[in-house]
Structures are given as C-alpha cells and as structure tokens.
Amino acid sequence: MNNTTYPHQYLYGWTGIVTLTTCIAGIISILEGAGIGTGLFIPDIPGGCILLLIAALFATAVIKGRTDRPGWISFSYIGALLLVVFAGCAILVETGHFLTLIMEGEEAHLLTIVSSSFIWAAILAIPLLIGVSRLLYGCSCGGDCCE
Amino acid sequence: MKEIHILLAGNPNVGKTTLFNSLCGVHQHTGNYPGVTVEIKTGKRQMNDHSIIVSDLPGTYSLSAFTPDEQVARDALLTSGPDAVVQIIDATNIERNLFLTTQLMEIGLPMIIALNMCDLAEEQGITIDADCLEKNLKIPVVRIVARKGEGIEELIKTIIQVSTHKTPAVHRAIEYPHSVTSHISEIGNYLSAHASLLGSLSPYYAAIRLMEGDEHLEKMLHEKGLTIPFIDTSDSAERDGIAEDILLARYKTSEEITTCSVKCTMGRVMPGDLIDQVLTHRLFGIPIFLSCMWFAFQLTFSASNPFLVGIEYIFGYFTDRMNGVDMDPFVRSFLSDGVIGGVGSVLVFVPSIFVLFLLLSILEDTGYLARAAFVMDRLMHSVGLHGRSFIPFLIGFGCNVPAIMATRTLQSRADRIITIITIPFMSCTARLPVYVLFAGVFFGAAAGNVIFFLYVLGIAVAILSALIFRRLVFRDEPSPFIMELPPYRKPSGFAAAVHMWFKGREYLKRAGLIIFGGVIVVWVLATLPAGVEYGSADSLAGIIGQVFQPVFAPLGFNWQLVVGLIFGFIAKEVVVGSLGTLYGGEEMLESSLAADPTLHPVIALAYMVFVLLYLPCVAALGVIRQEMSNWKWTGIAIGWGILVAYVFAFIILHVGSLVIGA
C-alpha cells in the first residue's frame, strides 16, 4: 500500500475489518446450523459457507493490497456488492417465511426478518461498497487510483 | 402499398433482436449474451405507403459460416435477394464489427449501418464521427439506441430511402494486393460468362468468396457442372496465402475506417474489466456463480410462498362455494376434482415460475450469465463438453425446447449431439411445481436447499453424461471456446418484468391447453369405470398405475406417483396436475401427500430426482428429433434419460434410507 493515499488507506483498512466480521458471521451461521450456537442468528450452513466465501474475497483484497498487486479494489468491490445484494435477498427470504407463517395462522416473530447473519455483516459493507465503487469508476476514467 | 424486404444482420449480441422488437413492435426474447437468435424471425412495420418486412438473422462474425446458425444468416444474405441490409454495429466496438461490414459491402446490396448503443459508447468516452464513417463506407449511418427506441424513426426513413433508390449500391471498395486482384478479375470474368448459374450473386463477389476458400460455393458450382479453371486445388499453400491476403486487407480497411472516425477520450480500463478479474477468477468464479444460484432458488421458494398460500386459499374458497351448490355429482366431481383439483394444483405454482424468471432475467440482463458460461468452460472442457454448451444449459432452466435449438451455435456435430442429449437434465420451469410441492411437504424449511440441490444435480448429471459419451462414443476433443463477453449493464426493472410476464404467460397458456387436457384425461381415467370410487385403485387410472407400479417398486413409488410419471410425459406440469386429481383436489394435495403412509422424505427426494432426469416432454422430444435429423439419437436420448433417472433414484432411495434408518 506504499502508493495508496487518502482516502484509499481508510477503505483498505475498512476492507480488513469487514473481512473479519464477515468471517465471524459465517462461522456463527455454520455453528448455529450445527446446533452449537447462541440462537441469535438463523441456522444456515449453506449461507455460512457463502459468507466465508465472501470473507475470502475480502481477504484476497487485503493480501493484494499489502503487496501492491493490482486488483484489491476489484475484490473489495465485488465482495461488498455480493454481501449487500445477498443481504437484500436474505431480507426477502425471511419476509416470505414470515408472511407464510402469518397467512397459515402460525406463530411468527417480526424480528426473524432481520436475524440473518448476512444482514449484520452487510451493514458494515455498505460504506465500503460506496467508497470502493467510487474508486473503481475513478480508476476506469483514468483518475487517481492506486492500481 | 409498396413492400420492402430488409434483413437485420450483425455480430452476435449487438442488439439485432432488440432493434427487431422496436421496429416491429413485438417481444421476441433478447438476452445480454451471444447466440440468443438461432433462426430467422420475421416481422412487419407499416409506414406511410410502405410495408417493411423485417427479417432478424442470427448473429455472425463473418460470412465464412462455421455453425448452423451462421449458415442460416449467410444463406439469407446471399440468396434471399432483400431490398436492403441493415447492419447493426455495436458503437462500443466498431473496429471488430466493421470486419463483417467489409464482407457485406461486397455482396453489392443496398446497405444501412445502424450504430447501436451510442449512449454506452458516450459513457465510455468513445466519440464517433458518423459523417466520417458514412463518407468512408459510402453507406448511410444512423445512430440508434435500440433499447430506448431512440433513432428508430430516422432509421425507418433511411431504410425506405435506400430501398427505393433505383441506382445500384456502390460501397467503398476493399484495396486488395495486386496478386489478389488479378486472380479476382480472372475468375470474375470467367464467372460473368456463366452468370445464370450464380443466382443473385455478383460474379465479382463470387470470385472473392472462391478465393477466400468458400467450400460451400465451390461445391454448389461444381454440382451445376462449373469447375473454376484458375483455382489450383493441389496448391493449398498458395490458396491459403491468397485467403490470408484478403483477410489482412479487410482488417486493414476496418482499422483505417476506425482510426479516422472513432476517438477515445478516456482510459481504456473499464469497470467491467476490473469486475471480471473477480467474477471470472479461476478459483472464485464457480463458487460465486453457485452462491448466486443458491440465493435465486431460496428466493424462488420463499418469496413466492405467501402468494402460493393466497392462491390456495382462493381455490379453497371456490371449492367450498361449489360444494354448497346443488348439482349433479358427476359435474361436481369434474369441476372440483378435475378442473380445480388438476389445473388448480398447477396454477398455484405460477408465482414461483414468475419469481424464477424475474431473477434469471435480472442475472441475464446484467451480463453475468455470459460470465457464468465463461467460468464453467474449464470444467466443461475437462469433461468433454464445449464451453458454449453452458449457454443452452442456462436457457434450459427456462425451457428445454429453445435450449435444444440454441445448440445450433455449436460448430462440431459431436458437441451438438452431446449437448442435446444432456440438455433435458436441466431443470426446466415445468419441473419446478413438482419440486416446490414435494420439497415443501417433506422438507419444510430446507425446501430451498433441496430445490438448489436438484438444479445442481441436473448440471452434474449432464456433465457426467457428457463425459461418458465423449469417452465412449465421440473420442475427439471438443473444439476451442471463443466467446465475446457482453458489457455489464444495469438491469432494467421494466425489461425484466416484461420478460418475466412473457415467460410466465407461456406457462399459463400451457396450463390452459396441454395441462388442462392432460388432467381431464386423468380425471376420466380416475372416474371410470362407472360406479367405482373416484381415484381408487379400481379405477382405470388405478389399474394403469398398478400395472406399471412393479417396475417402480424398487424406487418406492406408489401407483399414484406412477400415474403422475406416465402423464408427465405430455408435460412435466401434468405430474402435479395428475396428483392433484388423484389425491382429491389441490386443497387436499399437500395434506394428503403428507398423510400418505407409503411416502416419506427419501421417497419424495427419489421421486423429484426421477422427474428431473427421466424423460424430456413431448415438445422437447419433437425438437430433439428435428435437430438430430434421425431417430437413432432421439431414441438414445430417451433411453439414456430413463436409465440415468432409474439408477439415481434407486441410489438416493437406498442410500438415503440407510442414512435416516427408514
């Protein structure tokens, strides 16, 4: 990151933080799915694996950035984009479940709509997505970017 | 009223079908990947005193046709004698598109260039001097944005103007080296003396095609008794050299025209290039694709479920109201068991179909599905499938019929046969109701995961089958995969909604015709002979089911499930329709299945796997026969499907039973 200047270094640092939180969210989801957990999040083994995949994308961005290899912006952008889009999908999925339970006259809790670990991981990724997408389009227009 | 016949030609994925839709006010399927159009589509547009008949040709990079769809385009251009050819050029990539222009110009037909996607070009900092382009090519150039309908009126006026022009079209001539021109004039003069044999081809153009090594034309002339004395077939090196000279002259012309008329003011690194570093990454590409598909199926099941419950409620309401009306028991049974029970049990899945099509449209619109084909190429190639086969596979998620037709984009016959045999393993939307029903009843909250598993299993079985056929039957290597990646685009909500509606409407039409017919037949069989209990083992349906049931006994299927499979051959939706009829109506279907002591989750999974793999529907079989041009491979496709379905369902039942101890 020698040639990375403000605000890139903050985005780079934020990518590191999101890597950690996404990884933790993925592990918790898998543990919940395996029956070892706190009950805070929805048990979701495939979802947990997807979160770990996204964490791997962020980790690749961090590694590429450290060695000044090109591409950290691309990895950070796609990781954040996938996380935010999947969180949106997770809200729709849980809303679907919630409405189905209501319509079938069964007990349903509104909080389940936001209890997917994707949503909590994505909250941190939103500022990253905004910052990195500006950087990405700046790069493509020949602007000042670290690639 | 004067009739004008025009052809829409161009490279793949430049927006020909989008322009066709704009011109003719129709809604042919378009896609943000190459190879959507594989046959000629014709439409009409009236303007003032003119009736314009528009033919949309499959995309082609050159007139040296290699694949069946390219041959269709070439034959139409060379033999149909249109009043004008409209070449659609992608404004973001003019130089590559101009190579085809250099070939089209030489045919000698009146031409118009429609410069499409001008808005995207501007966004990318590409400035095009249309006047310079027009002057250099000696062809009218019209700027359009087909997606937004911009420039269409001007294009129509230009078409009318060019088509009604009485003087022959004279375009820019390609400057060939002297060695080439001397050959061309010699052959051209010779062919002029036999012009009647050339049909609508000009002798000069035919001479160039022959020098380029057009085997098709050479064969055609040979069959008419004309042998070209100047072509020395023994000296292939000399012929290759001339063909190469022609090729280079074309590229040089394209480059010259581009240099003078196109200016790029921005850096050439596009956001799409940076995004592709990740989405087509050799390690991350496939997992990202699988993640997207997993979420698509989660949404398909969960987001549509409240609508499904709502529709069930409406059907239940009508059934209750009908039961309260005094009517003949036979008519009541027809309406409640046949119409509402059969067709209703299929219609409740309409929301799932709509959601799936909406999601696939969005993925397609963004340009991501073409990347999916690209990342799958390594895997596909390693098992003997052509990378481009993945595009028909993706189309097969919607319906197997157009997917089988899309194999025309494959060059090698072996690649085509293998792809056609394996496409029916792709889960078309007609199978989705079966999955949603059984997964919902037997797997509850894990239903989305089960549906995702079935889709992935379909792809896995297709790949496995390809591997077997490549190793045992077609031992040659699949041809290399070259595909142009389309640009990323923001998905248009309106376009996705329109696509979803048209696809969903097809499903509704099928429900009204084929599925309705199928379930009525099942209802009649479940009612006859007179006096038996409706849908019982003594009815004709019961007897048929029991005759075949021993064949399926090792798979754990009861006779009702067997009847569903038999009639599912007409269309896969009929499986659910038949079960709805036999299990006492759509309102009762889910609870009846759940309460049936002969069924449990593993049998349900084996049944879904069997439905996924066993047979293409009648329509798909018809297209397989048409594309294969013989019954041998059609028979192999049927036999292979049944064998694979039986083996996989058997394995799943017995391994699954061992695991859960059933």
**Which residues in chain B are contacts of A50 at CB distance < 8 A?**
291, 294-295
Determine the distance in angstroms separating the CA of A136 from the nearest CA of chain B, rounded to an integer: 6
**Average pLDDT score over residue span B64-81:** 79
Could you tell me which chain A residue has the CA closest to the CA of B267? A142
Bridge partner list, B113: B87, B141
Token look-up 């409407």 returns B505
In a domain, A147, yes or no: no
Strands lying side by side in the sheet with B2-10: B41-47, B50-56, B2-10, B84-90, B111-116, B141-143
- Which residues in chain A (116-135) have CB-CB distances under 8 A to chain B? none
- Which residues in chain A (39-68) have CB-CB distances under 8 A to chain B? 46, 50, 53, 56-57, 60
Bridge partner list, B7: B55, B85
Predicted pLDDT of residue B28: 64
Predicted pLDDT of residue B383: 74
Predicted pLDDT of residue A56: 96
Could you tell me which chain B residue has the CA closest to the CA of A95? B303
In a domain, A12, yes or no: yes
Find out whether B406 and B38 touch, Cβ atoms under 8 Å.
yes
Confirm or reject contact between A80 and chain B (CB < 8 A). Answer: no
Find out whether B452 and B289 touch, Cβ atoms under 8 Å.
no
Could you tell me which chain A residue has the CA closest to the CA of B292? A86
pLDDT tops 80 at residue B238: no
pLDDT tops 90 at residue A78: yes
Find the length of chain B: 662
Predicted pLDDT of residue B270: 64
Bridge partner list, B43: B54
Phi, psi of B458 (to 5 degrees): -55, -45
**Angle (CA) B265 B271 B275, round 5°:** 155
Could you tell me which chain B residue has the CA closest to the CA of A75? B278
User: Which residues constitute the domain of residue A102?
Assistant: 6-135
Find out whether A136 and A43 touch, Cβ atoms under 8 Å.
no
Which residue among A57, A104, A136 places its CB closest to the CB of B309?
A104
The answer to whether B266 contacts A142, with C-beta atoms less than 8 Å apart, is yes
Among the residue ranges A100-109, B54-63, B331-340, B617-626, the one predicted with the least confidence is: B331-340
Find out whether A73 and A147 touch, Cβ atoms under 8 Å.
yes
pLDDT tops 90 at residue B653: yes
**Which residues in chain B are contacts of A56 at CB distance < 8 A?**
284
pLDDT tops 50 at residue A147: no
Q: What share of chain B is helix, strand, coil (3-state, %, to 5)?
A: 65, 5, 25
**Which residues in chain B are contacts of A46 at CB distance < 8 A?**
294, 449, 452
The answer to whether A56 contacts B291, with C-beta atoms less than 8 Å apart, is no
**Average pLDDT score over residue span B48-60:** 86
Predicted pLDDT of residue B267: 54
pLDDT tops 70 at residue B269: no
Find out whether B510 and B343 touch, Cβ atoms under 8 Å.
no
pLDDT tops 90 at residue B490: no
Give the 3-state secondary structure of A70-111: CCHHHHHHHHHHHHHHHHHHHHHHHHHHHHHHHHCCCCCCHH
Task: Quickly list DSSP for chain A.
Answer: -TT--TTHHHHHHHHHHHHHHHHHHHHHHHHHHTT-S-SSS---HHHHHHHHHHHHHHHHHHHHHHTT-TTHHHHHHHHHHHHHHHHHHHHHHHHHHHHHHHHTT----GGGGG-SHHHHHHHHHHHHHHHHHHHHHHHHTT-S---
What's the whole-number average pLDDT of chain A? Answer: 82
> What 3-state DSSP class applies to B263?
strand
Predicted pLDDT of residue B471: 84
The answer to whether A74 contacts B278, with C-beta atoms less than 8 Å apart, is yes
**Residue of A49, A51, A69, A97 to mutate, interface with B, max B Cβ within 10 Å:** A97
> What 3-state DSSP class applies to B144?
coil
In a domain, A144, yes or no: no
Find out whether B554 and B649 touch, Cβ atoms under 8 Å.
no
Q: Which residue has the higher pLDDT, B231 or B337?
A: B337
Determine the distance in angstroms separating the CA of A142 from the nearest CA of chain B, rounded to an integer: 5
In a domain, A106, yes or no: yes
Long-range contacts of B566-570 (CB under 8 A, 24+ apart): B567/B518, B567/B521, B567/B522, B568/B611, B568/B615, B568/B617, B569/B615, B569/B617, B569/B618, B570/B514, B570/B517, B570/B518, B570/B617, B570/B618
**Which residues in chain A are contacts of B449 at CB distance < 8 A?**
46
Determine the distance in angstroms separating the CA of A20 from the nearest CA of chain B, rounded to an integer: 19
Do you find a cis peptide bond into B433, omega within 30 degrees of 0?
A: no
Confirm or reject contact between B271 and chain A (CB < 8 A). Answer: yes
Taking Cα atoms as reference points, which of A112, A119, A132, A142 lies closest to residue A58? A132
Predicted pLDDT of residue B224: 78
Predicted pLDDT of residue A79: 94
Question: How confident is residue B114, by pLDDT bands cut at 50, 70 and 90?
Answer: very high
Task: Quickly list DSSP for B321-346.
Answer: HHHTS---HHHHHIIIIIIIIIIHHH
Start-to-end CA distance of chain A, whole Å, equals: 10
Reading the block at residue B45, the tokens are 């547009």
The answer to whether B298 contacts A73, with C-beta atoms less than 8 Å apart, is no
What is the percent of chain A with per-residue pLDDT over 90, rounded to a whole number? Answer: 38
Confirm or reject contact between B270 and chain A (CB < 8 A). Answer: yes
**Residue of B126, B273, B274, B301 to mutate, interface with A, max A Cβ within 10 Å:** B274
Predicted pLDDT of residue B230: 62
Predicted pLDDT of residue B662: 56
Cα dist. B401→B132, B205, B458 in Å? Answer: 45, 38, 16
The count of domains in chain A is 1
Could you tell me which chain B residue has the CA closest to the CA of A139? B269
Task: Quickly list DSSP for B427-451.
Answer: --GGGHHHHHHHHHHHHGGGHHHHH
What is the percent of chain B with per-residue pLDDT over 90, rounded to a whole number? Answer: 15
Reading the block at residue A49, the tokens are 């694996």
Determine the distance in angstroms separating the CA of A36 from the nearest CA of chain B, rounded to an integer: 18
CA distance B323 to B317: 10
**Residue of A78, A118, A129, A139 to mutate, interface with B, max B Cβ within 10 Å:** A78
Do you find a cis peptide bond into B229, omega within 30 degrees of 0?
A: no
pLDDT tops 80 at residue B91: yes
Determine the distance in angstroms separating the CA of A15 from the nearest CA of chain B, rounded to an integer: 16
Domains and CATH numbers, chain B: 2-164 (3.40.50.300), 178-264 (1.10.287.1770), 285-660 (no CATH)
Query: CB neighbours of B146 closer than 8 A, spacing ≥ 6?
Result: B15, B18, B19, B21, B22, B88, B114, B116, B117, B152
> What 3-state DSSP class applies to B42?
strand
Bridge partner list, B54: B6, B43
In a domain, A1, yes or no: no
pLDDT tops 70 at residue A141: no
Look up the ipTM and state it: 0.90
Predicted pLDDT of residue B585: 63
**Which residues in chain B are contacts of A73 at CB distance < 8 A?**
274
Reading the block at residue B248, the tokens are 């280079």
In a domain, A67, yes or no: yes
Q: Which residue has the higher pLDDT, B605 or B344?
A: B605
In a domain, A58, yes or no: yes
Question: How confident is residue B86, by pLDDT bands cut at 50, 70 and 90?
Answer: very high
Confirm or reject contact between B449 and chain A (CB < 8 A). Answer: yes
> What 3-state DSSP class applies to B40?
coil
CA distance B578 to B434: 11
**Average pLDDT score over residue span B113-138:** 87
Confirm or reject contact between B309 and chain A (CB < 8 A). Answer: yes
Find the helix or strand (DSSP H, E) in which B52 lies.
strand B50-56
Question: How confident is residue B232, by pLDDT bands cut at 50, 70 and 90?
Answer: low
Find out whether B77 and B85 touch, Cβ atoms under 8 Å.
yes
Among the residue ranges A93-97, B119-123, B271-275, B644-648, the one predicted with the least confidence is: B271-275
A31-58 pLDDT, tens per residue? 888 777 677 777 788 889 999 999 999 9
Predicted pLDDT of residue B284: 92
pLDDT tops 90 at residue B333: no
Long-range contacts of B550-559 (CB under 8 A, 24+ apart): B554/B650, B554/B653, B555/B603, B555/B606, B555/B607, B555/B610, B555/B646, B555/B649, B555/B650, B555/B653, B556/B598, B556/B602, B556/B603, B556/B606, B556/B653, B557/B603, B557/B606, B557/B607, B557/B610, B558/B596, B558/B598, B558/B599
Q: Which residue has the higher pLDDT, B305 or B234?
A: B305
Predicted pLDDT of residue B225: 77
Predicted pLDDT of residue B229: 66
Predicted pLDDT of residue A6: 47
Among the residue ranges A49-53, A78-82, B191-195, the one predicted with the least confidence is: B191-195
**Which residues in chain A are contacts of B287 at CB distance < 8 A?**
53
**Average pLDDT score over residue span B249-253:** 89
DSSP-derived letter for residue B534 is T
Which residue among A60, A100, A141 places its CB closest to the CB of B267?
A141
Predicted pLDDT of residue B651: 94
What's the whole-number average pLDDT of chain B? Answer: 82
Confirm or reject contact between B284 and chain A (CB < 8 A). Answer: yes
Q: Which residue has the higher pLDDT, B102 or B47?
A: B102
**Which residues in chain B are contacts of A121 at CB distance < 8 A?**
none
**Average pLDDT score over residue span B13-17:** 85
CA distance B355 to B344: 19
pLDDT tops 70 at residue A145: no
In a domain, A111, yes or no: yes
pLDDT tops 90 at residue A17: yes
CB pairs under 8 A between A and B: 92
Predicted pLDDT of residue A144: 47
Range among A103-112, B72-81, B113-122, B402-411 with highest mean pLDDT value = B113-122
Reading the block at residue A9, the tokens are 């270094």
Confirm or reject contact between B279 and chain A (CB < 8 A). Answer: yes
Residue type, A40: L
Predicted pLDDT of residue B80: 80
The answer to whether B306 contacts A100, with C-beta atoms less than 8 Å apart, is yes
**Which residues in chain B are contacts of A51 at CB distance < 8 A?**
none
Buried b (16+ CB within 10 A) or exposed e, B267-299: eebbbbebbbbbbbbeebbebbbbbbbbbbbbb
